[in-house]
Chains A and B, each alone.
Chain A
């Protein structure tokens, strides 16, 4: 990959970049549903951020910018993976991830949390993204619209549908994913 000349390209603030990694990993894990693929996605996102560093406006929210890059990298990778589906042999189908998200082991209500995590994976990806960015990453709706390149109205309708659907999934009686301690 060609690198931009170091002289006129602004440097990204390294401490802020490092500080953003845990949240990028968390979001990536929800996007991919797999710890290893999530870290690969974070790595690709950081690499892309350095390539595109000219596009970052000093002083603007670095985290929102990184989420935007991650969203785009992920979308592109999914498209490539779908196109090359026949050649992808080492991992599960990226469009249908097996969920391996961690849950704190010492939680009293671990069963409930585990189930919630499983159910997040059953949300449609576009709803999942909006819900996670709003509820977990606590980003403003305008930022979410900008990250995902969608209108505000779409953010709100996806958020509303995601919340309803997740509630229904969790309330479903005799859920197939219910775990016995």
Chain B
């Protein structure tokens, strides 16, 4: 690689030249060597081609739309807090209109309980979240089912334990997607399903507070929203929908069976 001038071209200079960070004085010297050293010229052209190929192969990521979570994460946390406070009022308005729409008595009482600060039971929260999000035609979920893997990874991370969406296709319900829902203390994961008649079900999962070791299926129904819920292995599950008790119980059994099977096969 020696051109016959004072010093040989170092390996570092060659890399720096290819990466466009060689000092101008050295560029002159290196380019002078290129004319007389075909081996060096070939090596440099190969390295440049490799750089170009790498960029070409990876540039596609740059033009992908940025997910909302990442845009949110770029916003200052204190701004985020005030934003959510600002959004709370309209959200309550939406909730209030749903209360009227869905059918009064129970939801009205629940809203009253919430205002006075009593923690709401899991079943009530589940029914409330289902009524709120299942009624939203265009945006019932935060991440759609076509990105199920991302949804599951995200919910698992936010909940702090592994969750997955049971497959209810056998019952005619396809996964719509999922979202995170605020709970009394810990966040709750919500998976939404829909059948051919556009009827929706939601499965909600959350970590239970210690000392709530019930395992039996319980049923609660208020004004058309039925909820089957149970607690298993420190996690609470609630399946809610505007279907009758027998149908909901059948669905709950399928969900329970799949979760149990997944748990049995998961490495501990």
Contacts and interface: CB of A to CB of B under 8 A. Distances in A.
Interface of A: 3, 6, 11-12, 14, 17-18, 21-23, 25-26, 29-30, 35-37, 39-40, 42-43, 46-47, 50, 86-87, 89-91, 101-104, 107, 112-114, 116-117, 120, 131-132, 134-136, 138, 140-141, 156, 159-160, 163, 166-167
A117 B74 contact: no
B61 A163 contact: no
Interface string B45-77: 011001101111111111110110111011111
B166 to A, nearest CB: 15
A36 B66 contact: no
Interface of B: 11-12, 15-16, 19-21, 46-47, 50-51, 53-64, 66-67, 69-71, 73-78, 147, 149-150, 152-154, 156-157, 162, 164, 266-268
Contact of A86 (B51, B78, B268): B268
Tell me what chain B mostly uses at the interface: helix, strand, loop, or mixed. helix
10 contacts: A21-B70, A22-B63, A36-B149, A40-B154, A43-B73, A86-B268, A90-B164, A117-B57, A132-B54, A141-B21
B74 A17 contact: yes
B57 A103 contact: yes
A14 B74 contact: yes
B81 to A, nearest CB: 9
A77 B264 CA distance: 26
B224 to A, nearest CB: 35
Contact of B61 (A25, A138, A140): A25
Tell me what chain A mostly uses at the interface: helix, strand, loop, or mixed. helix
B66 A167 contact: no
Contacts of A107: 56
Contact of B153 (A17, A21, A37, A47): A37
A99 B20 CA distance: 29
A120 B58 CA distance: 11
Nearest to B150: A36
Contact of B78 (A6, A87, A113): A6
Given A91-B153, A140-B21, A46 B61 contact: no
Contacts of A12: 76
A86 B51 CA distance: 38
A76 to B, nearest CB: 15
Contacts of A103: 57, 60
Contacts of B20: 138
